[in-house]
Amino acid sequence: RADQGKILRLVMFGKPGAGKGTLSARLVKKYDILSISTGDLLRQHIQERTEVGRQAEEIVAQGKLLPDAVMLKVVTSKLDHLRNKHWILDGFPRTVGQGELLDAHLKKQGTPLSLVVNLDVPDDVILSRISDRWVHLPSGRVYNLSYNPPKVDGFDDETGEPLTKRPDDNPEIFARRLTQFYASTKPLLEYYSTAAQKRTRLPRVATPNQHPHQLAFPPAHTLLLKTLSGSTSDEIWVQLDALVRERVPRAEGDPRESR
Ligand code: AP5
């Protein structure tokens, strides 16, 4: 169990195909941290033909977004079981409305977001990656023929089951998802930038320009917004690893070198 004041609440933010799922999976492997991907959850709902799945099928296939209230329910039904765990959200929030709903929910739990990582990858790099992406739908594991290819072509490393292309990864739908990102999701960066400024840890002694209420913010409730840029495979991972290393213990049995 993590100390309440030090629990990592990380939003992995970025364009479709920026590497949110890939990098979250790497963190989960290395650290004592869990990841929730709304894309994976929706694909599971669709496969299981749940009520949410029936609603999501058409919307996801068209590269559009589900309503904020539906997504909040999908996410919180998982988050509420992870109150004492370090976690990553991949693919949520995706609108300012979802950001506000999430903040209100976490405020009630007393563990607000602590880190927002903005993966900044150029559009042309993303477009070339997507044509090489293959996925194992039941687990959400993602492969790329040049960056992280499966051990056996066309099959999942862990289960040996066949890999597939996502139905929303064709060029026309992907372009729509990118447009949707700029219209609905990118404004969240401004939202988090403002929140991070408000929740910056400030010196204990007020300067004449500081409002006294700013000093009352407990250090455990500060929010860091960090943009990680890079177009080659491991540039971003090195920066992300350094950010998380300070905040979360390693997974038990992680064989890699000690810190
Ligand atoms: P979702 O599954 O979340 O799609 P997305 O955000 O568009 O993100 P992707 O999964 O496409 O990409 P990623 O950033 O995870 O990149 P990846 O690691 O795979 O959502 C799907 C749909 O569900 C949405 O369109 C919407 O309809 C609905 N939905 C989901 N959440 C919602 C919400 N909150 N509200 C409303 N609707 C919602 O990497 C991409 C490729 O690049 C891979 O092939 C990978 O191997 C490769 N790669 C990754 N990193 C690198 C690297 N560093 N170098 C080289 N290649 C790399």
Q: Give the model confidence (pLDDT) of 134-182 as tens digits.
A: 999 889 899 998 889 999 999 999 999 999 998 888 889 999 999 999 9
Q: Read off the pLDDT of residues 201-243 as tens digits, 9 standing for 90 and up.
A: 655 555 666 555 444 445 557 899 999 998 776 789 999 999 9
ipTM score assigned to the predicted complex: 0.90
Burial class of residue 7 in the structure, from the number of CB atoms within 10 Å of its CB (0-12 exposed, 13-18 middle, 19+ buried): buried
pLDDT, position 19? 92
Q: Measuring from each residue's beta carbon to the nearest atom of ligand 1, which residues come in under 6 Å?
A: 14, 16-22, 38-39, 42, 59-60, 63-66, 71, 91-92, 94, 98, 129, 132-133, 142-144, 147-148, 168, 177, 233, 236
35 C-alpha vs ligand 1 centroid, how far in Å? 14
pLDDT tens by residue, 41-97: 999 999 999 999 999 999 999 999 999 999 999 999 999 999 899 999 999 999 999
Residue 21 CA, ligand 1 centroid: distance in Å:
6
How far is Cα 254 from Cα 246, in angstroms, rounded to an integer?
16
Distance 95 CA to ligand 1 centre (A): 15
The residue that leads in pLDDT, 102 or 129, is: 102
What count of other Cβ atoms lies within 10 Å of the Cβ of residue 42? 23
Asked whether 136 and 156 are in contact (CB, 8 A), the reply is: yes
User: pTM for this one?
Assistant: 0.87
Cis peptide leading into 93, omega within 30 of 0?
Answer: yes
Atom of ligand 1 nearest to the CA of 91: 3
CB 104 within 8 A of CB 112: no
